[in-house]
Structures are given as C-alpha cells and as structure tokens.
Amino acid sequence: MIDPDKPLDADELLTLSDRIEDLSPNDAEWVGRLWRELIRLRIRETAAHAEEARVHHEPDPGITELDEQLAQVALDTAEWLRTLWDVGYMGAGNFRSDPRSTFPTIDLEDVRKSSLFARIRQGKHALPFPPPTRRGLPWHELVEGGEDDHPVSAEIIPDEAGVPFGAIIEACAEWEIVHAAADRREFVVQHQGKGPNYRLRLADDGNARLRRESPASVCKIHRQGRGGLHSYTLEWSVGGEPQFIPLRAATWTRAESEAGYWLAITHPEMYGKVRFERHEQ
C-alpha cells in the first residue's frame, strides 16, 4: 500500500516521469510542469540540507580567531599572575604583598590599570623586581628609557642624626640614598637597591629633576660565526672571575636585550649600570 505521508524517493520520481508520457496531451502538459517544479523544489531542499551540514561541521573563521585571542589572553594572564606571585607586586600599584604570601584579591580595575599586564600583552618581559611607581602606577619607562631629565616632586628623608637615607619621589617612598652631595641639593638614588642609579637634583623653587646615571661598567657581547650562523655570548666579568653566558639571540639587538634580562634576573643591583660592548670574533 502506498503511504501518502512518505516522501517520494528518486526512483519513484523517475517512475512518475515515465508514466507522464502515457497521459493525454492536455494532461501531460500540466502534470509535466508540476513534476518539473517538484524536481526543482527537491534540488533546492537537498542543497539547503548540504549547506546546513557544512556550516554545522566546519568551524566559523570568526569563532576560531576569537578562540585564539582568548587563548593568548589566558596565557598572558597566567604569566601576569605568576609574576605577581613570584615578585610580589601588583601592577595597579594599589597594594603590595611579599612573595609567597597571601595573594591579594584582583578586581577589574587592577586589570585595567596594570601596566605590567599591558607589557605582557605586548610581548615584553616582566621585570624580575618591582619598578618604581609614579603616583601609584609602575614607572617602567624610567627604568628602561634613556637618560632624559624627568621633572618630579621629591622629598629627602633624614635619619635621627640628620643624614639623608631615603627619598620620596613622585609619591614613592622606596628610594634609597646612595650618595649625597655636600650641599644636600644633589643626590644619587636607587629604587629598593635594584636597577639603575639616578641623579636627583633639588631646585630652590621646590621642584626637582631626576635623571638616569650613565652605566659605569662595560661588558662584552661576543658574536661568533660558523657555517653562516651566528651565536652570541655575554662575557660577565664584573666583581669576579669571567663567566661566558650563552644568549638566545639571532641579532645584536636581541642579544643585548637577552643580556639585560639575564642581568636583571641574576644581578638586579647591577641592572641598568652596565653598558654592553659588541665584539666580533
């Protein structure tokens, strides 16, 4: 028995096509038009099902790109949190915690204001020690920039004997006095005993200027060529026997960057105080 609710398959449609030829000319004309319209509808339906299946199984390029972005954000966030835990400072500068202590709560404002997180998102290394802050925000450009003068607000802190031992610069009270001039108007300062030295000059009008000191030591970076390839090595000979540190670099610029990062990790008190000299072998 023929089921009227069951869709016709391809063989049944062909059978109907053969039977149209047995009809009278008048009936064959309108039935043939109806049959051809049925075939067109069946082709459209098949194409629609095929497109739906393709869209369902193939990933949307926009979604794939979003997933990659989210994956990179997740990796960068993991690096940010690891740095905060190991080093012990928050990028927003709102609060601090000692390394390996109770980790502070992070809210959306900390993420938005964190220059450390912004650095990591830009593919830069995080400093292995807290940078100075300026009005509560990390001042990376002071540590990594050139020897430009920076107008600052500054206050010198003396001890009980009146000898300067610390300074408050741009609301950051973690500056140490390395050397003080006899007139107490010019000082060499360093932040938390790490990173470059800076010269702080106080003016009579209450203003002050801060300038990074030129590196006092020189270390050599050697480049060796073999078989068309180059390798870079840092010769570290400050305060002891020479050490030769392999650098993961393919250019002079990258070699100097890697040498500076090695110095920041192993000798943070010397970071920014060493100038690298290129030597070809």
Q: Is residue 136 part of a domain?
A: no
39, 78: one domain = no
Same domain, 79 and 110: yes
The reported pLDDT for the residue numbered 170 is 93
* Two tokens, residue 21: 């030829």
On whether residue 135 sits in a domain, the answer given is: no
Residues 72, 112, single domain; the answer is: yes
- Same-domain status, 153 and 184: yes
Whole-number Å distance between alpha carbons of 16 and 175: 95
197: which DSSP letter? E
Q: Which domain holds residue 156?
A: 148-212
Residues 85 and 110 in one domain: yes
- Boundary-marking domain end, from 164, 193, 212: 212
Q: Is the residue at 233 inside a domain?
A: yes
pLDDT tens track for 15-67 = 666 677 777 877 777 777 776 777 777 777 777 777 776 655 555 555 455 56
In a domain, 4, yes or no: no
Task: Check whether residue 42 and residue 70 sit in a common domain.
Answer: no
Final residue in a domain of this structure, among 76, 102, 130: 130
Same domain, 70 and 126: yes
The model's pLDDT over 147-167, given as tens digits with 9 standing for 90+, comes to: 788 999 999 999 888 899 999
Q: DSSP assignment of 120-188, as one string?
A: HHTTPPPPSSPPPEETTEE-HHHHHS-S-EEEE-EEEEE-TTS-EEEEEETTEEEEEEEEE-TTSSEEE
Q: Flag whether 82 is in a domain.
A: yes
CA 56 to chain CA centroid, nearest Å: 34
Same domain flag for 100 and 121: yes
Taking a C-beta distance cutoff of 8 angstroms, is the pair 242, 166 a contact? no
Instruction: State the pLDDT at residue 189.
Output: 95
- Residue 243 pLDDT more than 70? yes
Task: Indicate the pTM of the whole model.
Answer: 0.55
125 shares a domain with 76? yes
* 34 belongs to a structural domain: yes
Residues 6 or more apart in contact with residue 12 via CB below 8 angstroms: none
Average model confidence (pLDDT) for the chain? 78
Q: Is 259 helix (H, G, I), strand (E, B) or coil?
A: helix
Q: Is 253 helix (H, G, I), strand (E, B) or coil?
A: helix
Do 52 and 37 belong to one domain? yes
Residue 140, in any domain of the structure: no
Q: Establish if 125 belongs to a structural domain.
A: yes
Residue 186 has pLDDT above 70, yes or no: yes
Segments of 11-105 assigned E as strands: none
Instruction: Answer yes or no: are the C-beta atoms of 219 and 237 closer than 8 Å.
Output: yes
Is the pLDDT score of 188 beyond 60? yes
Q: How many domains, the chain?
A: 4
| 222 plus 275 within the same structural domain | yes
Q: Do 27 and 83 have their domain in common? A: no
